[in-house]
Structure 1
Amino acid sequence: MASVKDTCIQLINLVKADSSSTIKQTESMNAALISPTTTVTMNSDISNDKQTHPLYVRSQKIAASFILSLISRRLALRKDLHKRLCRLSDIMCFLGVFGIILMSIVNEIEFHQINDKYAKLSWFIKLTITLSTIVLIGLIFYYHRLDITLNSINNSIVEILICAIHPIPRSFPLHSNTSLENISSNSTTSTHDTFSTAIDILLGVPMFARLYLFGRVIMFHSHLFRDVSLRSIGYLNKVSINFFYLMKTHLERFPTLWLTAFCVTFCIIGSWCLRACSYLPNNQHLSVADSMWLFIVTFSTVGYGDLTPSSYCGRSIAAIIGLVGVFSTALVIAVLAQMLLLNRWEKYVHNFALQAELEKERKTQAANIVKFTIKVWFLRNKNRSELSIRYLQAQRKLFNSIDSLQIIKQKQRQLIDHCVDQIDIITIQRSTNDKTCEISKQLTFLKTKIDNMEEKLVEMNININNTMNDIQKTLHMLLDKVEK
């Protein structure tokens, strides 16, 4: 059987040893894990009064403060990791967009097939794209290293494959002397340039997939993702606060803005891809205006047929544009339908106006019923024949007024049903629950009062019985005395 003093000393030593080991482990920023908690078993024979010993209470306070310090340190590390991931995502997004812009400039230079001076510029731009890609891949590795520390999730392979594709600089272009040999080899050079341009296009078009980094920037800068309390509530309700959830919320709040931004961005990217992958009969690329016209015709699924993609790359891009166009059209129709719907307050005003109009018609038809009833009664008492024209007209108008009144009452009931919204049902349910709770409290209070009354009645009954017994005893004693 262990004494209280020995147990408290062991607990303090264990807490100190655990705290020193954990502080050493969490000196670096990447150590975000808490060491296993120390468990101390005590003999159950120690009584409750001994557990109030000062050393025991002090050890409990030290253990609680140590656990709180560990939690605060871990939260601080997590917050710092979030900030570093946010900065990394901003830099990665900048490098991705920068590489896409440089790729577009390189391909535009090659589309126009200008002189050697611009060919060297194109080579240097490709070298810049390669260097920025290497830096971007390094940042992706570092980002996922921090992400593994924070969330224990790794999806770096797919991102590296997406970001590694880019136009690679080949041999450095030298100055070409205008000699007979160069003049005779123009056809071979043009064929080589066309092949290299096609390779650059095939390696450049997939670079637009780097725009997923912009979605990550939106996610890290959203207040829904940065707020720890909201994320905790989401996890408790099995709702992950990720990019798709944020897009749903943004589309719910600002549907017109986000759909317009998406359509404009996709129009620019799709038009340039069609310009890069489609050729005219003279092996020239489409102009900007023609490529935008081809994009609009394909996106809207009209397809006039005046311009068509001439390569497999252009046809693939046209198919993707058509699918996205169908999806975007469905979204636009859904947004327009939602915008045309009346909100709650507009619906209330509209229903109030309809209710007032129906009430006015109901009073009119009720007055008509009274009027035509009196008219029918008057014509019948005037000894007019029931087959007379005036009697039949009055009777027909009476029946029409009765039918109209029934129809108006039915419309009023339907209007009340349509007026009741889900929010109203929830409000009624809440008020009903509150009233039910109040009634249950009152019933509980009444039950306690009745129980108290029952106890008092039992006590009164006992007192009365005792009093009656005393009176009987006294009477018996008096009778005994009288007999004697």
Structure 2
Amino acid sequence: MTSHRILIITLELLVCVIHPVGSYWEMAIHVNSSSFSSSPLCASHHDSKPLQNLELLLSMLMFLRLYLVHRTILLHSKVLLSASYRSIGSLNNINFTFRFVLKVLMNKHPARTLLVFILFFWLTASWMLTLCERKTQASTGYMDTALWLIAITFLTVGYGDVAPNTSCGKGVCLFTGVMGVACTAMLVAIVTEKLALNKGEKHVHFFMLDIQISKRIRHAAANVLRECWLLHRTSLTKAHRGEHRRHQRCLLEAIRVFRHLRLKQRKLRDYVSEMVDLPKMQMIMCDLSANWNNSYRELEQRILSMEQKLDELTLCFQQTSELLSEALAHRHHAENR
């Protein structure tokens, strides 16, 4: 067991040990009746401010136990329980943490996951606000008012009818506003992704746009020819000068419309060609990488064969040198005799 693991276990034990001192507070039910005086959700019968602050601090620290939620999600997720996920993840050096599980859930069920998170955060922040505001005897100490205040703060509406009175409550509302902005951005991204066209729908849409633009180009070309003929006829018949200028303006307008449509068609076809070329480029890159791998393997085999041949040549040279040395030794011995 490593020191990091021991530290985590110690922190978990400390978080589980934290609990407010229950002798200083008692629960009170808010009743809308004239015979009962209204009281907040939790009220203190002691005027000792240090004890109240200690009680509030311990109550807020109890929310650290929410780490058990993400651990429960991790342990009961299909990602961790699936053997195929674990095997493929181990091959790719993927750690199955809560972050990975959350990314998988956001990819598979983005709207459902975000909705559950918003509801969970709404209830948690409302309860934290009641804990912060319970000693002020204000309306924000009630759960219904806290739910309303957290909701309008999360949605960044802020009607101004209810406001926190303590620094702790203001901090909770500030954090709620920041989380509301972040969740709103995520919601906009999810809705945009859902409303976006997929690849097949884009091809159909752009194909129909191309057909429509082609029809409009033919009509614009026909208008250009018609205005040219009318202008030529008015110049031959020497009609009124105002009519001649009118046909000139109509001809220029028809040419402008024709050029605009041609430019629009060119941009559309360029965009479609880029969409088509991207998969082709990916296929080409895959083929090139496969060819490079094959060439690398062939080169390795050739290098190995060359090494084997060099070893054989080295062995032959050694044998030849030994034979030469033996022959020279025999010759020297014969000469001595």
TM-score of the aligned structures, taking structure 1 as reference length: 0.47
For 2:178 and 2:290, how far apart are their aligned partners in 1?
Answer: 58
1:388 CA drift (Å)? 3.4
1:281 CA drift (Å)? 5.6
1:274 CA drift (Å)? 1.4
Q: Which amino acid aligns with 2:249?
A: R
- Pair 288,420 (structure 1): closer, same or farther in 2 beyond 3 Å: farther
For 1:259 and 1:236, how far apart are their aligned partners in 2?
Answer: 30
Q: Which residue, out of 129, 132, 153, partners 1:274?
A: 129
State the Cα deviation string for residues 139-162 of structure 1 (Å, max 9, x = none).
xxxxxx6xx6xx989632332332
For 1:241 and 1:314, how far apart are their aligned partners in 2?
Answer: 36
State the Cα deviation string for residues 96-152 of structure 1 (Å, max 9, x = none).
xxxxxxxxxxxxxxxxxxxxxxxxxxxxxxxxxxxxxxxxxxxxxxxxx6xx6xx98
2:284 is the alignment partner of 1:429: no
CA contact (8 A) 2:80 2:96 kept: yes
2:178 is the alignment partner of 1:323: yes
CA contact (8 A) 1:225 1:242 kept: no
Q: Which amino acid aligns with 1:251?
A: M
SS of equivalent to 2:141: coil
Q: Which amino acid aligns with 2:58?
A: L
Give the number of the structure whose alpha-carbon radius of gyration is greater.
1
State the Cα deviation string for residues 234-253 of structure 1 (Å, max 9, x = none).
56656544211221232233
For 2:63 and 2:97, how far apart are their aligned partners in 1?
Answer: 22
CA contact (8 A) 1:376 1:395 kept: yes
For 1:407-422, what aligned pairs fall within 5 Å after superposition?
Answer: 407-420=260-273
Q: Which runs of 5+ in 2 are unaligned?
A: 25-43, 293-337
For 2:23 and 2:62, how far apart are their aligned partners in 1?
Answer: 18
Could you tell me which residue of structure 2 aligns to residue 354 of structure 1? Answer: 209
For 2:193 and 2:51, how far apart are their aligned partners in 1?
Answer: 50
State the Cα deviation string for residues 36-80 of structure 1 (Å, max 9, x = none).
xxxxxxxxxxxxxxxxxxxxxxxxxxxxxxxxxxxxxxxxxxxxx
CA contact (8 A) 2:134 2:141 kept: yes
2:58 is the alignment partner of 1:203: yes
Could you tell me which residue of structure 1 aligns to residue 258 of structure 2? Answer: 405
For 2:20 and 2:201, how far apart are their aligned partners in 1?
Answer: 57
CA contact (8 A) 1:276 1:285 kept: no
For 1:74-113, what aligned pairs fall within 5 Å after superposition?
Answer: none
Q: Which amino acid aligns with 1:415?
A: L
Bigger relative CO (Cα 8 Å, ≥ 6 apart): 2
- Pair 396,301 (structure 1): closer, same or farther in 2 beyond 3 Å: closer
1:230 CA drift (Å)? 4.1
CA contact (8 A) 2:140 2:163 kept: no
1:362 CA drift (Å)? 0.7
For 1:165 and 1:421, how far apart are their aligned partners in 2?
Answer: 60
Give the count of matched residue pairs.
Answer: 273
SS of equivalent to 1:211: helix
For 1:317 and 1:372, how far apart are their aligned partners in 2?
Answer: 71
- Pair 405,237 (structure 1): closer, same or farther in 2 beyond 3 Å: farther
Q: Which runs of 5+ in 1 are unaligned?
A: 1-144, 172-188, 441-484
CA contact (8 A) 1:386 1:392 kept: no
Could you tell me which residue of structure 1 aligns to residue 191 of structure 2? Answer: 336
For 1:201 and 1:436, how far apart are their aligned partners in 2?
Answer: 65
Could you tell me which residue of structure 1 aligns to residue 69 of structure 2? Answer: 214
For 1:312 and 1:438, how far apart are their aligned partners in 2?
Answer: 63
CA contact (8 A) 2:126 2:146 kept: yes
CA contact (8 A) 2:156 2:177 kept: yes
SS of equivalent to 2:197: coil
Work out the percentage of aligned pairs sharing the same amino acid.
Answer: 28
Could you tell me which residue of structure 1 aligns to residue 142 of structure 2? Answer: 287
Q: Which amino acid aligns with 2:205?
A: H
For 2:145 and 2:178, how far apart are their aligned partners in 1?
Answer: 20
1:254 CA drift (Å)? 1.9
1:272 CA drift (Å)? 1.6
- Pair 250,372 (structure 1): closer, same or farther in 2 beyond 3 Å: same
> Considering only aligned residues, what root-mean-square deviation do their CA atoms show, in Å?
4.0
TM-score of the aligned structures, taking structure 2 as reference length: 0.65
Q: Which residue, out of 221, 232, 254, partners 1:366?
A: 221
